[in-house]
Amino acid sequence: MIKKILIANRGEIACRVMRSAREMEIKTVAVFSDIDRNAPHVFMADEAIHIGASQSKDSYLAIDKIINACKQTNADAVHPGYGFLSENANFAKRLHNENIILIGPNAASMEIMGGKISAKQAVAAYNVPLIPGIETAITDIALAKRRAEEIGYPILIKANAGGGGKGMRLLEQPEDFESQMRLAISEAVSAFGDGSVFIEKYISKPRHIEIQIIADNYGNICYLYERECSIQRRHQKLVEEAPSSILTPSLRSKIGESACFVAKACNYSGAGTVEFLLDADMNYFFLEMNTRLQVEHTVSECITGIDIVKEQIRVANGEKLSFTQNEIPIHGHAIELRICAEDPLNNFLPDIGTLNTYIRPQGIGIRVDDGIEQGMTIPIYYDPLIAKLIVWANNRTEAIARMKRAIQEYKISGVATTIDFGTFVMNHPLFISGDFDTNFIKDHFAPLKLQPVLSNDESQAAISIVELLIERNNTCITFPQSKKELPFIENYTF
């Protein structure tokens, strides 16, 4: 019986796990690095243990320190959240050897699905649709080049251990094959310590559809329907929604069943996500499986009413799933906007600084998952995700309207964030119509589109203010290079 959980993570996901554990009357332990000493997740937990310096390799990735923290606090289970050690098979093995329960799948499942080649080979036995390509590590470049010509360009070279677009190269023509192959291998070695790569056909306008699954240790597997995750930059998601606006009930059922087959292929237990690409002809192809809780699990919770973290804990505790597939509803529509400390005006590069203003939106159908407070400094050491804004409504149109209202109420200053980008997406005709794909940002977004323009009345008022200042000071005014240097006009473009 799980009585105390150590959350081997930080920020919003640590807080989110603690809330579910508290409702289950399970004690929690926080771990923290130097820079997170005063972070909200530290004070939310029943106990907190300092585990090292600010860099993640010295704290949140330090397996020995986390296991020692479990022993110090008598924690009998670990929830890894996402990122850090959440898909680390060695960590899973170490916990097992120490008789500490991992709230997640076993190491063998992680190893199978952690390599894209082994994952493809495993699911092929269940006739899950695969993207045409070479499902083995490339060792003979000349042979791979011939196979690429058979598949037809454009193709993708992908790292076996890849993620987040690292070790990935798009090839439009065969002349670039060998040079791009070498670059992909080099990047894969640098990012993952594994230089194995494979190739597959490039789908030019794909939708990114993923299925939330959960399985127990008794052979029961359910899918909690799909999430649409096609609004991405650098292969990383910014806006997610559930359900997708384009899946028919029949296609939803087929993809859901395929996701369950993927779970069977690796003897999966716990919550996981199976990702698919959907082409323009509504054909779907297996992409990968994430053997952990996803950032965007929230929208699946909103439309099904299922607390996925609680189900993870129950499964890890040896319990059967508390529902069957036929008992899972789809109720309404949910959208999540990732609030990242990134500057959309500067190619979404991470930003750091102090949250001078941080005011959350409120009202019916609004959920904010975060782990920050006003006055906190956003550190440079970790992922730039600082919060998730989730809305739920009876239908997609109402959900979009609610998201726009929530964004207007969300007040953040001191660091650049993706919140204004969220407004751009919610107002874009293609998003509203549901006619978009993973190229949405590349094809339709430009920084200038976030610059508000003054109305005629506002322009005249601004001119009058400037003329008055000139008259009073009897001098000329030089406008600064950056709007941040002039706070009282920072929201306007002259």
Which residues are identified as catalytic?
292
Q: Give the residue carrying structure tokens 């194995």.
A: 196
Three-state secondary structure call for residue 364: coil
Query: Distance between CA 100 and CA 64 in Å, rounded?
Result: 13
Please count the helices (runs of H) and the strands (runs of E) in the chain: 16, 23
Query: Distance between CA 135 and CA 104 in Å, rounded?
Result: 27
Query: Distance between CA 291 and CA 286 in Å, rounded?
Result: 15
If one counts every other C-beta atom within 10 angstroms of the C-beta of residue 10, the result is 29
Query: Which of 238, 178, 215 is CA-nearest to residue 384?
Result: 238
Quote the distance between the C-alpha of residue 280 and its chain's center: 24
Sign of CA dihedral 8, 12, 15, 21: negative
Beta bridge partners of 377: 354
Contact call for residues 101 and 75 (beta carbons, < 8 A): no
Query: Distance between CA 156 and CA 169 in Å, rounded?
Result: 6
| 118-to-78, 161, 289, 303 alpha-carbon distances in Å | 27, 10, 11, 33
Contact call for residues 81 and 31 (beta carbons, < 8 A): no
Residue 208 phi/psi, 5-degree rounding, is -100, 105
Q: Kindly provide the b/e burial profile for residues 282-294, where b requires at least 16 CB atoms within 10 angstroms of the residue's own CB.
A: eebbbbbbbbbbb
Which helix (H) or strand (E) is 180 found in, with range?
helix 177-192
